[in-house]
C-alpha cells in the first residue's frame, strides 16, 4: 500500500486516529503498520513528543514535526 498525504498535519491526524481506533479493518491495520514504521524511524524523544496527547506548540513539538516531515518527504509520502 502506497501512503500519500497532502500535508504533514493530515498524516499526523490520520496516524493518531488509527492508533487510537478500537477496531480497524485489514486495510487500516496495514496502513497503520506502514505509518508506525515511519514514525519509529524518529528519535525516541521526537516520537514521544509526537505521540503525546499534550503535544503543545513548543520547540520540541516543532522539532519533532520538522523531523517527521523530512522522513515522510524522503519516503515520498507527502504529495504537497
- The pLDDT of residue 54 is above 70: no
Average pLDDT, stretch 41-55? 81
Half-sphere exposure of 50 (CA within 13 A, CB side): 28
Q: What is the pTM of this model?
A: 0.81
- Domains of the chain, by residue range, sit at 8-74
Average pLDDT, stretch 17-27? 94
Average pLDDT, stretch 54-60? 63
Q: What is the pLDDT of residue 52?
A: 76
Amino acid at each position: 500500500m502506497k501512503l500519500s498525504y497532502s500535508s504533514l498535519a493530515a498524516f499526523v491526524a490520520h496516524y493518531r486516529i488509527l492508533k487510537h481506533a478500537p477496531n480497524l479493518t485489514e486495510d487500516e491495520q496495514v496502513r497503520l503498520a506502514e505509518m508506525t514504521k515511519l514514525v519509529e524511524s524518529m528519535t525516541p524523544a521526537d516520537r514521544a513528543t509526537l505521540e503525546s496527547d499534550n503535544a503543545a506548540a513548543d520547540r520540541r513539538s516543532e522539532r519533532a514535526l520538522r523531523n517527521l516531515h523530512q522522513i515522510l518527504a524522503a519516503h515520498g509520502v507527502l504529495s504537497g
